Chain A
């Protein structure tokens, strides 16, 4: 019987020739990603049981990102815990503050995680890495502890949802709009326990950054992970990070692989989409309502990459953030920050009146560096708009693409980025 990519990867990591959905397997993890918020709890669980060991210090990647640079003493202690563990266990892949950034985006750029591999982390957006054709998923404290201890995790083999996207995205419409549209259609639990496998000519033409945005948000539909098959784009991406095809395994879904659901989508019909409060599936067309904003945030593991910053710069160049709007731009990693500086993007942001911050999760989860107050209205390029996610429970969060965030910041209310000449074409209607 045919298998999907996810099934093949899980079979290969559990000593089976074939796995079927529903089967319980013990799976080896090629990588464990650790940040400073969930790792200390897992380490304590291990210590309490006399199991304080690391299955392989070479296969752990540690990146403090949520509360760094430490926002208070408690955060400083969690950071210390991660750092002292890293030093004590000889964990080499440690991306400290100043050399790292948001863990998922740091990891995707290292060349460490490769197609065909497995990855777990105590963070729900671990599914991000699935764009590389690997099986990556977020787990709880016990699972993380087990993965650190033995490099193993158990799975109930998930079924797969096939998302087939064909046609050209309109200018000004981005992969973020596409994933928000899919979540709008299937609902915030539409992919509960499923793998979301993305195929079709739209995906084939999409760059890796766009694919990461798609797989990153699998969890917003309840998905176990997102996945995209390896192609020339993936190979070139890996090659640019010094990884050659003989160093990884490419899996493709069999023609007779079984899918629980198939979703067909015409990319040319997707509009710039904004998810209204308080659930990511609450998508509407950008600009259909005139909603004044107080905050605009570009950043997060979903949309803080260089292409996202370029989209923002194209719109902000020669324009100003509207009075009364606080805009912050957070490049996802140090490398992206540097690249943006070299390209002159940071200067464009500052000229426009936006605040450029250091790489961190900070504002995305309302922890620090951009927390929303009562009644604030924020348009955000991040991934969750739950009550209280970015700060006060009465704040309103709208999720959108970086281009829509930029256009809205300039207008002062939620706007359609296509009216802001995002691709250097057409008129500048709303300037």
Chain B
């Protein structure tokens, strides 16, 4: 069962999500060690795979570093839910098949540590402690397709295969 981590402040920037001093690597498992470091040093010790971040507006503002998305995903975060996002973070999230869900009143509806259920097809998130359900802005089909493929590059590779009529191949790993 995913646990919700609430970061209630607006304008949480990419420096807080992954400080510049850690940008000497782009290995996700390395970056993961420092996720949210300048906002909440203990976050990486509490987070479990599949957990959800609930945050204030304009999440991910600041520099364009894609490392912000990689660090969160590497730490196991399945989705960030906020009233809205800075545009480059939002773009990078989609490109990486990472869920950035826009939802009003989400900060008020959850307390840190609440268990939650995310229904992507139904477009809802439910607080299992209170039973309250919120609807998020539907994820564009395109973004869902990208997410399903595993990211924008994988999505394009898939499109290519379909066009050239090749059978689907085993995922290649680096």
Contacts and interface: CB of A to CB of B under 8 A. Distances in A.
Interface of A: 24, 26, 41, 45-51, 124, 140-143, 145-146, 149-150, 152, 154, 156, 192-193
Contacts of A48: 174
A146 B96 CA distance: 12
B78 to A, nearest CB: 19
A46 B174 CA distance: 10
Contacts of B92: 140, 142
Contacts of A140: 64, 66, 88, 91-92, 95
Contacts of A142: 66, 92, 95-96, 151-153
A49 B88 contact: no
B156 A149 contact: yes
Given A24-B143, A124-B64, A146-B152, 16 more contacts: A24-B140, A41-B26, A46-B153, A49-B153, A51-B153, A140-B64, A140-B95, A141-B66, A142-B95, A143-B91, A146-B95, A146-B156, A149-B156, A150-B159, A154-B142, A193-B87
B153 A145 contact: yes
A308 to B, nearest CB: 27
Most A Cβ at <10 Å: residue of B88, B96, B152: B152
Interface string B26-41: 1000000000000000
Contacts of A51: 153, 156-157
A24 B146 CA distance: 12
Interface of B: 26, 64, 66, 87-88, 91-92, 94-96, 140, 142-143, 151-154, 156-157, 159-160, 172, 174
A51 B143 CA distance: 21
A48 B174 CA distance: 5
Contacts of B143: 24
26 contacts: A24-B140, A24-B143, A46-B153, A47-B174, A48-B174, A49-B153, A49-B157, A49-B174, A50-B172, A51-B153, A140-B64, A140-B88, A140-B91, A140-B92, A141-B66, A142-B66, A142-B95, A142-B151, A142-B153, A143-B91, A146-B152, A146-B153, A149-B153, A154-B94, A154-B142, A192-B87
A33 B66 CA distance: 19
A143 B87 contact: no
Contact of A143 (B95, B140, B174): B95
A145 B140 CA distance: 22
A50 to B, nearest CB: 4
Contacts of A150: 156, 159-160
A154 B152 contact: yes
A24 B160 CA distance: 20
A192 B88 CA distance: 10
Contacts of B174: 47-49
B9 to A, nearest CB: 18
Contact of B142 (A24, A41, A124): A24
A145 to B, nearest CB: 6
Most B Cβ at <10 Å: residue of A49, A149, A150: A49
Contacts of B151: 142
B14 to A, nearest CB: 11
A360 B4 CA distance: 48
Nearest to B155: A146
A47 B172 CA distance: 10
Contacts of A143: 91, 95, 152
| 7 shortest interchain CB distances as A-B pairs | A48-B174, A142-B95, A50-B172, A150-B156, A193-B87, A24-B142, A140-B66
B97 to A, nearest CB: 10
A45 B87 contact: no
Most B Cβ at <10 Å: residue of A41, A140, A143, A145: A140
A141 B66 CA distance: 7
A143 B155 CA distance: 12
A78 to B, nearest CB: 14
Contacts of A152: 156
Contacts of A149: 153, 156
A50 B142 CA distance: 23
A24 B152 CA distance: 14
